[in-house]
Amino acid sequence: MTSAPLRSFIIIPVLINVVLYSAALILGYYYVADLINQFIPSWLHWLKLAVMALVFHQLFYSRIFTFTVLANPAGRAFLRQISAKTAAIINGQTRRSRRTTG
């Protein structure tokens, strides 16, 4: 991540995952809140809070495990470019050196 040419190839798949998980979290919140409001009576308000906390703890831990499952297909689209750019950096071939030698 310290090499500037590789940053965009790393940041784009991470941003894709952030957008996907943000959308899933927002939709999940409204869906779960609606379900809880349907099935738990108002006099058990404290139970609603406890159930919401348990649900979101579970979603947080499952998100940690599924992040790599979704990051691999998102990053796979950039794999060829990442490997070519990394090989060029390792071999010392940057755009500046290609212009002067070629």
Name the pTM for this structure.
Answer: 0.59
pLDDT of residue 72: 75
DSSP track, 4-49: HHHHHHHHHHHHHHHHHHHHHHHHHHHHHHHHHHHHS-GGGHHHHH
Task: Classify 93 as helix, strand or coil.
Answer: coil
As given in the structure block, the two tokens for residue 31 are 């869906």
Give pLDDT tens digits for 4-21: 767 777 787 778 878 888
**Closest to 94 in 3D by CA, of 28, 1, 5, 29:** 5
Q: What is the mean pLDDT of each run of 10 residues along the chain (102 residues)?
A: 68 81 87 89 88 87 78 73 80 60 49
Cβ contacts of 59 within 8 Å, gap of 6 or more: 25, 28
